[in-house]
Chain A
């Protein structure tokens, strides 16, 4: 079984790498949509299987390819965790199906293909989430996930059916041609349905409640793919519907998306600084990053509606850059969290500590990826937040005297607050989880994880740094993925070059290194100072590892100051009332449920009679 597990993993790596190559090819096709494959399932019906790669889907395929390759590589070593379950062979098969389903979502070219791919992605990911079903709480979280997903799918299908009603087709190409000529009201309904549907998948507040439950309990490389790529399918979908098809027709759409994004960014980063388990912190941080991406998309919608295609294009570019960098660092961090759980059998920060000296490779990888999460220069996360900052600042200056200016300033405030709050969660993860001394026996017994897991984490960490240094180059390729109407915005390339000058990140990195060298040279004395080791000072008492600060204590000041915000808003004000309404409605239907077979036969008879009557009168 072990060899089967290895073979499957290698097949997966090959598949993911070829997806990556395919993505590069379609991105490099200079805006030409590549027609791929079509197959009619049932002639004369809309059941046609049709896929097509656009430059935009090429960009997302590259993301999927990179994260998928690393996940498969990581899975080889991670299989040891499931020795008793055939080294997780079923997990491998599920992972392969998951990657294929996501690739199909990015390439779908009609409603039938899209919905099939979307639903298989959801169902396969549900099965992967409940893979560790014997652990407490997993089944419940899985049900919440699948329920929310179905809610989202219902809204998506509604959006597609409305589009079909007006265009008479199920083809995405037709939608792209005709959707912008729909009546304004219908456009808004389509947009709202798509927004609700996609933001459920993306985990945007207040539709996020499933994400912090479902992402942490999945096996870690699955969490990496879910947080890194799956929630980006929603970003892809929203860009497709609202920008490529509907051309961002109305300004208030953008405002709604910006506000929801800012809410998500602040809320997600705040909660990620309060959670106690490594993977839950990362899950909330995904909500925060999705919020930032939605802010950028919202600004793109807003600017297009206000006839500023240049800033719409730049905002969309920064959304894609944010998505790309988030995929890299978040998947690396989830893999790091998985390695910690693999080694210590716990992910609770207060039970960890001292891992930096016991697992140096994993810890260094996590530290490097955390630098990207915190947007520290010159990492990838920094470049995308810098571009978002510049975009928001210029847009607010452009519309200074209208509500748009104030809205973007509010979004800027959200961005800044998010940046500082993210630092809290990063310091807790590394400072408490990896530094100082182990707080429990299981953390003290931690050993470095298998080689393939280490390699995967190391490559991921390198990529987070490289994507920062190469950001201007990446951006120049992202521009190719923009929709046709935005690609031609005058001055696009030159403006982006002024916002993110080529080689600036290399210069920042070099100057930091020169500074470090200078500081080292200044303090280097001719005689080498003696280094002696002593215990950390404890006011004279005997030191025990529990004396170091805990993660709970570290975030207590922030928690105390923002205590007023510590209300589970979404649960209390959205989900509980909604649940109450559903229950009340269903209870009122209980009157007709007598439990006698005779009554039900009567219902059947009455229904048939009614249908016959309708058929007769309606002349069908």
Chain B
């Protein structure tokens, strides 16, 4: 029950977070910007529109958008947002969570390539490259966080955090924190890696994959991108800043946890928006260098675990 509540919370909150980041960015650029509720209006507008399908598309295009959102919903059910003691899908295992996200990535790539658009192919190639680089870093960082206590699922990691001071083993935590933040920027398609606001063909990555979509399908994919972003934010908060997560299922701590989770997400959104406003887009082939730095941090975190 509580698990379903967490899922619905993430699903409903995700577009707001997207709109909030947009507004902060607009403010930083000296514009007034749209209200944070704008994404919801946009989805409603898109849902009322006709669907245009490519003549070269197969049934994949018809089912993939719904399927991608479904996979991300399963992802939401694997990740604790408010409390560490509610039952989670597969016990909140790291591996299952990341496999679900990989499945969603696979479905998105299939959806993009189905139209036969060259922009989708270009975006797919780049997204695959990023996947190859980020997946090892994410799993290695997560393992580094829980290696000493054999905690390989989110609830057990939170339990470790609750029982000991995470700042007690500062070096490893700090390294994991930075590595995961660097990956988060790649995975949520933010500047300096990808620009979510551009439709300039040569720079598109995630936008290129969904260029052919219209109406209902486009609404679903935009929603999926927002959910994915919220999931990565929640993951980062669970691992690096688990302050305030309820350890029981009593209503009082849950309410506090809810407020804190929203606050922390918005704060992280603010950080991301500021980072975006401060940086120019990076050349695609400089990203491996950026990510190899994150990989090095994750490896050092493991070594720190082994040494301390």
A, B assembled together? yes
Asked whether A120 is an interface residue with its Cβ less than 8 Å from the other chain, the reply is no
Interface pick from A18-26, A246-254, A534-542: A534-542
> Binding site of A, secondary structure by majority: helix, strand, loop or mixed?
helix
- A390-B95 in contact given A374-B102, A377-B100 (Cβ < 8 Å): yes
12 contacts between A and B (CB under 8 A): A377-B100, A385-B95, A405-B306, A412-B143, A436-B56, A511-B73, A529-B216, A532-B52, A536-B212, A549-B125, A557-B126, A561-B288
A354 and B56 form a contact (CB under 8 A): yes
- For the complex, give the distance between the alpha carbons of A554 and B116 in Å: 12
Q: B72 on the interface (CB 8 Å rule)?
A: yes
A516 to B99, CA, bound (A): 17
Residues of B within 8 A of A97 (CB): none
Asked if A396 meets B99 with Cβ closer than 8 Å, knowing A401-B306, A536-B115, A548-B118, the reply is no
Q: Are B58 and A357 touching (Cβ within 8 A)?
A: yes
Assess whether A508 is in contact with B113, with CB atoms less than 8 Å apart.
no
A588 contacts partner chain B, Cβ-Cβ < 8 Å: no
Interface string of A521-549 (1 = CB under 8 A from B): 00101000111111111100000010111
- Check B120 for interface membership: any CB of A closer than 8 A: yes
A401 contacts which chain B residues (CB < 8 A)?
306
B33 within 8 A of A: no
Task: Decide: A424 and B132 in contact? CB cutoff 8 A.
Answer: yes
Residue of B nearest to A436 (CB): B116
> What are the residues of chain B within 8 A of A556 when measuring CB–CB?
125
Which residues from chain A contact B47 at a C-beta distance below 8 Å? 523, 525
Which B residues are in CB contact (< 8 Å) with A416?
135-136, 139-140
B53, B59, B95, B148 interface centre (most CB from chain A within 10 Å): B95
A431, B109: Cβ atoms under 8 Å? yes
The answer to whether A435 and B60 have CB atoms under 8 Å apart is yes
Question: CB-CB contacts of B131-145 with A at 8 A, as 1s and 0s?
Answer: 111111001100100
Quick one: which of A435, A516, A554 contacts B125, CB cutoff 8 A?
A554
Which of A416, A513, A518, A554: most chain B Cβ within 10 A? A416
Q: How far is A258 from B189 in the complex, measured between Cα atoms in Å?
A: 36
Closest 4 CB pairs of A and B: A549-B121, A515-B73, A516-B70, A436-B116
How many chain A residues touch B (CB < 8 A): the figure is: 80
Q: A374-B102, A420-B136, A554-B125 are in contact. Are A437 and B56 (CB under 8 A)?
A: yes
How close is A356's CB to chain B, nearest CB, in angstroms?
4
- Measured between C-beta atoms, what is the minimum distance from B240 to chain A in Å? 20
Number of cross-chain contacts by CB at 8 Å: 247
Task: Take A417-B132, A536-B54, A537-B211 as given contacts and tell me if A423 and B102 are in contact as well, using a CB distance cutoff of 8 Å.
Answer: yes
Asked if B60 contacts A516 (CB within 8 A), the reply is no
One of B77, B114, B150 near A394 (C-beta < 8 A): B150
Docked-complex contact A547 and B132, CB < 8 angstroms: no
B41: A residues at CB distance < 8 A = none
Bound Cα distance from A516 to B150, whole angstroms: 33
Given A400-B305, A516-B67, the answer on whether A547 and B216 have CB atoms closer than 8 Å is: no
Bound-complex Cα distance A390 to B150 (A): 10
The A351-388 residues at the B interface (CB cut-off 8 A) are: 353-354, 356-357, 371, 374-377, 382, 385-386
Question: A512, B50: Cβ atoms under 8 Å?
Answer: no
| B257 CB within 8 Å of chain A | no
Q: Is A560 an interface residue (CB 8 A)?
A: yes
Contact of B124 among A409, A427, A511, A561 (CB under 8 A): A427
Indicate whether A517 reaches chain B with its CB closer than 8 angstroms: yes
Q: Would you call A413 an interface residue if the criterion is a C-beta within 8 Å of the partner chain's C-beta atoms? A: yes
